[in-house]
Structure 1
Amino acid sequence: MSGAGALSIDPEELATLRQTAPELRVAVVASRWHSRIMGGLTGGAERFFDDVGINAARVTRLAAPGSFELPVLAAGAAHHHDAVVALGVVIRGGTPHFDYVCSAATDGLVKVTVETRTPVGFGLLTCDDEQQAIDRAGLEGSREDKGYEAAHAAVAAAVQLRTLG
């Protein structure tokens, strides 16, 4: 079941992030496929940035042609930012294309975060149908807000990395 065991972001953590996150430089790399769903995902990331005081001027937005291109844009952004939020959606069709794109994008984003040591928030929805994506997109009536969660993951990890010196 989607959402089961999801991390809750408590007010104390948000208060801590409000003290440390506003100085971060963040990139949002978002696919252009499925514009309604992507609008929800990017809106969720923006709501998180607002909640922790990251000014829009500190956020770079990059449009990826599709989810397959998320890793290369995330890699480029990682060299100039403290955190990257990767957002996309792939909906299963009748061919193996879904499996290849999901695997390549996921593996590529993992490689970016490990090799650059820049946190990449994973906001790539891999869904069987459009309704599953809508339910996770942070739209009105959605059960989840994966854009918000991905932004939180990237920013919280970047803040933690700064404590290492």
Structure 2
Amino acid sequence: MSGKGAPELMVTDCADLRVAVVAAQWHTRVMDGLVDGAMRALEELGVPSTLVRVPGSFELPVAARVLAGRGYDAVIALGVVIRGGTPHFDYVCQGVTQGLTQVGVDTGVPIGFGVLTCDTEDQALDRAGLVGSSEDKGHEAVTAAVATAAVLRAVPEPAR
């Protein structure tokens, strides 16, 4: 089951990080929960943020790439893709996952992966951080990306 075995991340001294959240607009109720969880996590950490909305999950990688290129220390990508009766689900999930991975690898900017890939709307709602949800993936995506940005910032340059 998802959510089991997650590490307890202690994130400190990150208020000076620049963080952008890019969120899809499909599945409003799920997305509202993900965005609320992400913004709550940033507030708890004392990190100011910029929120950008794009039409759907497929648009997340290009928006994340532009934001990473504009100097953000971390970018949080939030979206949801729910399986339907066509292969569309597989193509979108694969494209979004590979695209966001490529953004992080190419830019060195941590990308918080808050894209739900669920078989049903009920599964997505259970992960959206809403009242009664068992998980809060928006909050988790922020914590992971900000923790990674803080770790990378603390790594010293190698001696020559």
Q: Does 1:47 align with 2:37?
A: no
Match of 1:60 in 2: 50
How much has 1:31 moved relative to structure 2? Answer: 0.3
Q: Does 1:136 align with 2:131?
A: no
Out of 27, 34, 38, the residue aligned to residue 27 of structure 2 is 34
Q: CA RMSD in A?
A: 0.9
Taking structure 2 as the reference length, the TM-score comes to 0.94
User: How big is each residue's C-alpha offset from its partner over 1:75-97, in whole Å with a ceiling of 9 and x where there is no partner?
Assistant: 00011200000000000000000
Q: Which has the higher helix share?
A: 1
User: How big is each residue's C-alpha offset from its partner over 1:44-82, in whole Å with a ceiling of 9 and x where there is no partner?
Assistant: 111111111113xxx111111100010000000011200
SS in 1 for 2:6: coil
User: How big is each residue's C-alpha offset from its partner over 1:86-138, in whole Å with a ceiling of 9 and x where there is no partner?
Assistant: 00000000000000000000000000000000000000000000000000000
Taking structure 1 as the reference length, the TM-score comes to 0.91
Paired with 2:121 and 2:8, the residues of 1 have a C-alpha distance of: 25
Paired with 2:109 and 2:43, the residues of 1 have a C-alpha distance of: 21
SS in 2 for 1:86: strand
Out of 104, 109, 112, the residue aligned to residue 100 of structure 2 is 109
Q: Does 1:150 align with 2:141?
A: yes
Match of 1:125 in 2: 116
Q: Which runs of 5+ in 2 are unaligned?
A: none
Equivalent residue runs for 1:87-102 within 5 Å: 87-102=78-93
Match of 1:69 in 2: 59
SS in 2 for 1:21: coil
How much has 1:2 moved relative to structure 2? Answer: 1.9
Paired with 2:7 and 2:83, the residues of 1 have a C-alpha distance of: 26
Q: Percent identity?
A: 58
Paired with 1:112 and 1:52, the residues of 2 have a C-alpha distance of: 24
How much has 1:161 moved relative to structure 2? Answer: 0.8
